[in-house]
Chains A and B, each alone.
Chain A
Amino acid sequence: MGFLAGTLSTEAYEEIAYKFHRLPRFSIEVVRSGTLKHARVVRVRKLSRRYLVADLKLIEDFDVPPGPAQFIMIWIPGVDYIPMSVANYEDSTISIFFSIRGEGTRALAESEGKILGVAGPFGKALPVSSRYEYVLVAGGTGLAPIIRLAKELNELGLLKGVIWGTRTAEDAGDVPSYFKEVTGYSFSLCTEDCSMGFCGRATDLASLVIPRFKECEVIVAGPNDMLAAVANLELVLGRDPILIMESMVECGLGLCGSCVLGRTGLTLCKDGPAFRASQVLDYLVK
């Protein structure tokens, strides 16, 4: 039995070395990425009654910078560990666009000056192709990943339009000017109560606008019912839009199972958060 007999010739050893060399190998370095780093919350701005933006300056940089649609986990010691989309990343500073939904986000809103833990980036970065032009549609805090995408696409001259929907003019507040400040682009605002901009939901305006941009790639971010609505509209037109999903993420590592998307067997944290509509439609409409 090979090695065990201890009688191998030099040639046999060389053959073994050759075969072993061809076997798949795996870098231990990969194992180390995604560990907890630290960041100081340098500023928390209230953009409106509903939305805030927090700027986190990394004390230790990430192993790889976060790409479009990727997210990070923020550890607020003693409170929570929450998934957050990266709205902007510049000079080792991460901007988080959010609303207060629970203990974790409340603590984040009150964390100016504090040092927090951050892990990531998690999920797959959404590749941007210069072969397409893009229309972006967002609802509520779904705007977070869209800010980062819009900035990149606008710099590349590939952005054809951005639609954002929220409930009221008071909710919108300074969000439009913040978006312009970061991306250099102005979005079309929709309010559900018709108090500002287009009267209706983002999906209502999208259904009017999108059919006119036949060659465009459509990217949508927001709650599941909104994603399903745009996906259906688009699939009818024979297109397969990109959906950036929100879901309960607990570990970000593809292990705990809390963000498994039903029987698709996909996880938001590993396979997403951006998916083609055709991959996840069954889950969204279930």
Chain B
Amino acid sequence: MCLSKIKYLAEGLDVSLEVTVASLKLKHPVMNASGILGNTPGGVIRLIKLGFSAVVTKTITPEPREGFKPPTIVKLPTGGLINAVGLANPGKGAIKELVATAKEFQVPIIVSIAGKSELEFTDVAAEAQRAGADAVELNLSCPHTEGYGIELGSDPRKVREVVEAVASTTSIPVLAKLGVTDKVVESAGKALEAGADALVLINTVKAMYIDVYALRPVLTAKYGGLSGPPIHPIAVRVIYDVYKEYGAEIIGVGGVFDWKTAAEFIVAGAKAVQVGTALASNEKVVEEIVSGLKEWVKVHNVRNINELVGAAHRA
């Protein structure tokens, strides 16, 4: 009698998707990926309306950058997107208004930052902290803009230096976003040693799309970052490896387009996920992932999604 009553009660209870990652309390684990919409107050409002539990800004550098000429983002016939926006952004002067907009709606905001040197990173991070941002995400892996990103991220020593510089000069949580490289597990370790509160894995993957009529690369920048479902299995592998090695807090990103692809990241070791490319095809993607994850949590007979984080390592 007792057992069946408990089961009945458990079915009636709503499960919790609340997660805490890098000390940020989120009502569910789905935030947007950096680079999507978060470059104007209107874009931040749109992200909030789309249902994300936290907003990540477009990557911001100290000075405004114009970026490349269009085409900068195109859909691929093989699935996913390729982009080379060239870190176009309004510069650190825009952070205050972006943060204030998210605060108005009481949604946590993470400022994504990049720089050519440790000094540029710490400069933008300080501005984000002053503006009241909830965290900074260090873009250590932009694959298409020279001097920024991937050169940094593929050198574990440099990752350590940048993360250390930011973590030692700011008091808000620091997230380190790394791309897929041969040394990604080592870089992740260095970022954690240097004081990163969580890792964001992975960035887009350096790629190219050539048009066979025009006989030239489609993107103005020639090279771009591949995103969407084609990179999802790569992200799963990286999350799995990094979680296995360090048991670190991870935010998974790369090709999530439904609850299953999100759940896979969680099982591999991610506490939260970021979604970008999927929005191009489905603007209800956040609510679909959230409702799907709730059912999934119930199916596994647990009350809290946290119990499923890294479950693949216990199988």
Question: Which A residues are closer than 8 A to B by beta carbons?
Answer: 1-4, 16, 19-20, 22-26, 28, 30-36, 38, 59, 73, 75, 77-78, 80-82, 115, 117, 119, 250-251, 253-257, 260-267, 270
Contacts and interface: CB of A to CB of B under 8 A. Distances in A.
B119 interface: no
B73 A256 contact: yes
B37 A253 contact: no
B301 interface: yes
B273 interface: no
B211 A117 contact: yes
B223 interface: no
B74 interface: yes
Interface residues of B, number: 61
Contacts of B245: none
B288 A35 contact: no
Contact of A81 (B48, B49, B71, B282): B71
B302 interface: yes
Nearest to A2: B300
A32 to B, nearest CB: 7
Contacts of B72: 81, 250-251, 256
Contact of A250 (B70, B77, B81): B70
A3 B277 CA distance: 30
A120 to B, nearest CB: 10
B63 interface: no
Given A4-B311, A115-B214, A257 B292 contact: no
Contact of B282 (A19, A26, A260): A26
Contacts of B258: 24-26
B24 interface: no
B85 interface: yes
Given A19-B295, A30-B281, A253 B75 contact: yes
A32 B279 contact: no
A23 B259 contact: yes
Nearest to A264: B42
B46 A267 contact: yes
B70 A257 contact: no
B283 A35 contact: no
A1 B300 contact: yes
Contacts of B110: none
A38 B301 CA distance: 51
Interface of B: 35-43, 45-46, 48-49, 58, 69-77, 79-81, 85, 211, 213-214, 216, 218, 228-229, 257-259, 276-283, 285, 288, 291-292, 295-296, 298-302, 307-308, 311, 314-315
A2 B301 contact: yes
B282 to A, nearest CB: 6
B73 A35 contact: no
Nearest to B50: A265
A80 B68 CA distance: 11
Max chain A C-beta neighbours (<10 A), residue from B70, B213, B308 = B70
Contact of A32 (B77, B285, B298): B77
A36 B74 contact: yes
Contacts of A82: 70
A61 to B, nearest CB: 14
Contact of B42 (A38, A115, A117, A265): A265
A28 B80 CA distance: 10
Contacts of B80: 31
A31 B228 contact: yes
B211 A77 contact: yes
B295 A262 contact: no
B71 to A, nearest CB: 4
B298 A19 contact: yes
Contacts of B300: 1-4
A78 B259 CA distance: 39
Contacts of A16: 299
Given A254-B283, A266-B46, A34 B291 contact: no
